[in-house]
Structure 1
Amino acid sequence: MKFESVQLPFGQPITEAYINRSNPGVEALFGSHAAEPAHWEKRLNWLNSHADKRTTASGLADALARYNAVSNNQPAVNSNIDAIRAGAPVVVTGQQAGLWTGPLLVIHKAVTVIAAAREAASKLGTPVVPVFWIAGEDHDWDEANHAFVRSASVSGNGESAKLSRVAIKRPSGVRTSVSRTKLAPDAWVDALQRLSQELPDTEFKPDMLLQLEQAAKQAESLSDLFAATLSLLFGKYGLVLLDADEPVIRALEAPMFEQMITRNDELEAAYVGAASDVQELGFKLSADVTPGSANLFMFDEGERVLLHKDEGGFRNRKSTKSWTSAELLDVARNEPQQLSNNVLTRPIMQDYVLPVLAVVLGPGEIAYWALTGRAFHVLGMEMPIVVPRMSYTLVEQTAAKYMTKFELSFDDIAHRYAARREAWLKERDELGIEARFAEVKAQFKLVYQPVMDMAAGIQQGLRDLSESNLQRIERELAYMEARTKDAHARRFDTALSQMDWAAVSLWPDGKPQERVLNMADFWNRYGLSWVDKLLEAPYSSQGGHWMIYL
């Protein structure tokens, strides 16, 4: 098996500064760094001496046991929950629930959190448990309801370079969380039928569809299916799951919701102060720090609505409903399932519920976590160690063969594919199509100019008419040129189809593979062996991107 390291753009300058340790001010925002061995010891000692800052180990273990018994009841998982009960710290990552786990980056997060927990356990000489925090409380249905796979449509030249989107329509009703959006059994049946139609037939397809069908039979929501699918992929590695929107977890969160309500002004000031710190360091904010926002959501008649502060109390966005602080505290104590966190308070809640040694984050998440350090301190807490998630590009033999054949590098496909494709076609244009049409356009304009001048000399208004006529003729020539190029390109359909297949496999829809393709695409082609290969890939606590040749 071959691994090759490449560098993808971070997309977030503050994340790049953190990972590369190029700005001391940025590192100060986080308070520690994953590449510093002493910081791991320090964080473990802090967890051991500040157990009062989070829920009890026994209460947490009970809640995790109840949740994982439903769809992640595997020996390695149960053993890890027992370790948490005995006081083991965790490395945690998380993501909104997506259809069949959503894009591959979710798989990469799970792989990273397992690898990071293994390395931390080895460094510290103590059990460390990997945990996946399912953000079932999020309500962005359109972000969660779909999966992209490469289509099974074929021609005489093999598989076509086409992406297909399999999606589940949101049921009618209020805009509530993904976990609370219940789906009828027919929705799963329809989605699996569509998935089966889009994917090519392989030796692994029947078993994959059967396992996904069985998982769906136990699922009432996308979050349920997400958990069941993660269990199929990573349960044997002991990955413990939790859904933040589950009642058993909400019950644990109640005391922290109380703190977030009573100290809301202090937390707001902390976020505003951190935003100022980030901007003074020369970076743009990656999350909104909105004055007057409570940074909490409430489920109001089922709908998840953001709370705003209002004269000592709280209100919804449209000011059609309001709650006093006392009323909201009563909700926190007695109905915590009616509250949920936003992007800025979720890190604190996660740290209260779990004994977090480290958290695995993507580039965008690292950027907004930079805004939370002061808020941790307000509540007497310390930010856990931030570990950049690993990322991968799976390179199949077919794609690698086509890259070699057409002398395409990964960088070519990622950053200049359209230009390379066009240049390849031009090299095979023995007729000089573009040059011939350019010559005709120039000659026509030269011949037509005296006519235009003559018409304008007779009547000035004819100049505009003649210019419009020229433009119309030029458009017709451009149309003819495009049709001629298309006809020429069709002579090379086989080669272009092969080039496009490499592109859609490695950089689909102009984006990194991990942000588009769903794991079912690769499960269908390779079984689950590719998941094991990800866990054999090199790991670094400072992240990185690896090409993995299957």
Structure 2
Amino acid sequence: MNIVKEPLPGGSALARDYIENFEKVSHLYGGDFRSRERRSIRAEWLDRNESLRADRTQIAECLRQYNEKHNSHDAVKASLALLEQQGTLVVTGGQQSGLFTGPLLVVYKAMTTIMAAKEAAEQLDRPVVPLFWIAGEDHDWDEVNHTYVLNRTQEITKIKIEKSEEKRSSVSNIRVEEESWQQVVEQLDGLLQDSDFKLQIMEFIRSSSFRADSMTDAFAKLMGSLFGKFGLILLDSADPNLRKLEEPFFTSLIMQNDALETAYMNSASDIVNAGYELQADVTAGNANLFYIHEGVRLLLHKKDGVFADRKDQVSFTRDELLEEVKAHPKRFSNNVLTRPLMQDYVLPVLATVLGQGEIAYWAIPHRAFEVVGGQMPLIIPRMSFTVVEGTLHKHMDKYQLSFEDVRQGLDRKRHEWLAALDELGIERRFEETKASFSAMYEPLIEQLGTIQAGLLKLGNNNKDKILDQITFLQTKAQDAMVKQNEAAIRQWERIELSLMPLGKLQERVYNIMYYLNRYGLPWLDELMAIEPDYSGTHRIIYM
């Protein structure tokens, strides 16, 4: 593999400044992971404030039970043994559970988490373990129920799994029947090309899926199959055993809810006043907590001292809500703004791995950490890649295409290339013919109009029909040119479909299974051997 940096424009201005000009936005964040000094300062703060967090022995035991079911590797057991010890720190990354692990960016986030933990352990000379926080409490089923692969004919194909219920439940609590798993697994099997590795890949997909009750279960088993050997601990945010341990902090979130609301609103003002757009909703009266009622996840709002959902299906005074969380902690769930706080309570988080969108909205809770006596962890930009297979690289060289050309869209380049092949000058000659015809015919039509007014309209209609026929022949000639170069056109299309599917970066669309099927499971080891880079720069992997 050959790795080349490829800076990409775009993304939110706030995330770009975090990556490229940290001092400008340092007041919105806890610190930059890329600074060794900040790592040491954060580690010392975590040591001093061990008592503010959940009991690490209980947390480690809870995670041991979960990983024993889905991620039972000796390296994970070793990571959990370290986590149990005083002084061990954690680097976290996280994502919603996705079908067959979801888009490639999920894999890259796990890679970044593992590499960053290893580097921090070496620099700080103390144990630092990697942990992947599966956002199983999220309820956006439509976001996680599908994935995309390149099929045997190099076309984009969407695979979607159905659920057996329509409730707005947390993804971890949505049951997926074995029949549904069989349908999507067999669909994937039919789409992937035959290869030396396909039997092995499909086997571990089947073993992970057919033993799973939910999307989160299957996701955890697959992530464990891929990354367990690197010691990556998995955590499901909807784990009922974890909920019990989170109860004291849910109590704090309720007790200090008004102060937290003020902190979020003030942070939002800080961001807007600095000239940036908010990347998450901050609204007055939002409790930033969900309550699970009859399996449905309801967002709570505050009004006149009462916590209720928008449709008043549930309603609590503050004291009633405090009693409810003490009696039934598993009925409570974080939202996007309280999750960072909960993560910092549950784990000794040295740093967390985030994509650019996440970096932008993590600026919103920066004041809220102070309200609960915490401190914002360091943030690591997720590593970002585009994989260019060898054949595609040759095609790009052949047509003198850069990745930037592909990213901007190839229509203009492809048209220019076809025009250069037109030795007969077909397009030019047709345009000249139409112009010459119009120049000769229009004066005649005008003269006919002096004989009889109706002839002017008839003449113009006649002219348009003749021009339409010339254009029709021009189109047929162009189609013939394309057909004559059909193989080359397919190469252009494959470049675009592979590198910018659906007009998006490859890592946001395609699933890793296509590449594991092409290159085998050892390909992941090759990725893990890539030099870590936390600069936020996109990189091209030329196979």
- TM interval, shorter chain, is over 0.9
Deviation of 1:22 after TM superposition, in Å, equals 5.0
Provide the C-alpha distance between the structure 1 equivalents of 2:456 and 2:46, rounded to a whole number of angstroms: 82
- Structure 1 residues 372 and 464, CA, compared in 2 at 3 Å: closer, same or farther? farther
- Partner amino acid, structure 2, of 1:40: R
Q: Residues 26-58 of structure 1: CA distance to partner in whole angstroms, max 9, x if unpaired? A: 111103111211111111111111112211111
* Partner residue in 1 for 2:63: 64
Deviation of 1:322 after TM superposition, in Å, equals 2.2
Indicate conservation of the 8 Å contact 2:165/2:174, yes or no: no
- Secondary structure (helix, strand or coil) at the match of 1:358 reads strand
The 5 Å alignment of 1:379-394 reads 379-394=372-387
- Partner amino acid, structure 2, of 1:366: I
Q: Residues 346-377 of structure 1: CA distance to partner in whole angstroms, max 9, x if unpaired? A: 11111111110000000000000011110111
Provide the C-alpha distance between the structure 2 equivalents of 1:275 and 1:464, rounded to a whole number of angstroms: 64
Indicate conservation of the 8 Å contact 2:29/2:376, yes or no: yes
Deviation of 1:421 after TM superposition, in Å, equals 1.5
Deviation of 1:94 after TM superposition, in Å, equals 0.2
The 5 Å alignment of 1:21-40 reads 21-24=21-24, 26-40=25-39
* Partner residue in 2 for 1:257: 250
The more displaced of 26-35 and 351-360 is 26-35
Indicate conservation of the 8 Å contact 1:34/1:542, yes or no: no
Indicate conservation of the 8 Å contact 1:148/1:166, yes or no: yes
* Partner residue in 1 for 2:340: 347
* Partner residue in 2 for 1:148: 148
Deviation of 1:323 after TM superposition, in Å, equals 2.1
The more displaced of 456-465 and 77-86 is 456-465
Provide the C-alpha distance between the structure 2 equivalents of 1:119 and 1:465, rounded to a whole number of angstroms: 80
Q: Residues 485-522 of structure 1: CA distance to partner in whole angstroms, max 9, x if unpaired? A: 22210111111212222222222222111111100001
- Structure 1 residues 111 and 450, CA, compared in 2 at 3 Å: closer, same or farther? same
Q: Residues 136-176 of structure 1: CA distance to partner in whole angstroms, max 9, x if unpaired? A: 111111211112111102xxxxxxx4111111123332121
The more displaced of 128-137 and 392-401 is 392-401
* Partner residue in 1 for 2:113: 113
- Partner amino acid, structure 1, of 2:491: Q
The 5 Å alignment of 1:140-219 reads 140-153=140-153, 161-219=154-212
* Partner residue in 2 for 1:157: none
Provide the C-alpha distance between the structure 2 equivalents of 1:464 and 1:34, rounded to a whole number of angstroms: 74
Question: Given the two structures, how large is their TM-score scaled by the length of structure 2?
Answer: 0.95
Provide the C-alpha distance between the structure 1 equivalents of 2:225 and 2:429, rounded to a whole number of angstroms: 59
* Partner residue in 1 for 2:93: 93
- Structure 1 residues 93 and 469, CA, compared in 2 at 3 Å: closer, same or farther? farther
The more displaced of 406-415 and 178-187 is 406-415
Q: Which runs of 5+ in 1 are unaligned?
A: 154-160
Deviation of 1:478 after TM superposition, in Å, equals 4.9
Indicate conservation of the 8 Å contact 1:61/1:85, yes or no: yes
Indicate conservation of the 8 Å contact 1:10/1:363, yes or no: no
Q: Kindly, what percent of the aligned residue pairs are identical? A: 43
Provide the C-alpha distance between the structure 1 equivalents of 2:119 and 2:64, rounded to a whole number of angstroms: 25
* RMSD across aligned positions (CA): 2.2
Question: Given the two structures, how large is their TM-score scaled by the length of structure 1?
Answer: 0.93
- Secondary structure (helix, strand or coil) at the match of 1:152 reads coil
- Secondary structure (helix, strand or coil) at the match of 2:367 reads helix
* Partner residue in 2 for 1:433: 426
Provide the C-alpha distance between the structure 1 equivalents of 2:98 and 2:159, rounded to a whole number of angstroms: 12
- Secondary structure (helix, strand or coil) at the match of 1:372 reads helix
Count residues in correspondence: 542
The more displaced of 137-146 and 376-385 is 137-146
- Structure 1 residues 431 and 235, CA, compared in 2 at 3 Å: closer, same or farther? same
Which residue, 355, 361, 365 being the options, matches 1:368?
361
Q: Which runs of 5+ in 2 are unaligned?
A: none
- Structure 1 residues 218 and 469, CA, compared in 2 at 3 Å: closer, same or farther? farther
* Partner residue in 2 for 1:17: 17
Provide the C-alpha distance between the structure 1 equivalents of 2:76 and 2:504, rounded to a whole number of angstroms: 34
Deviation of 1:302 after TM superposition, in Å, equals 1.3
Give yes or no for the alignment of 1:289 onto 2:282.
yes
- Structure 1 residues 457 and 305, CA, compared in 2 at 3 Å: closer, same or farther? farther
- Partner amino acid, structure 2, of 1:364: G
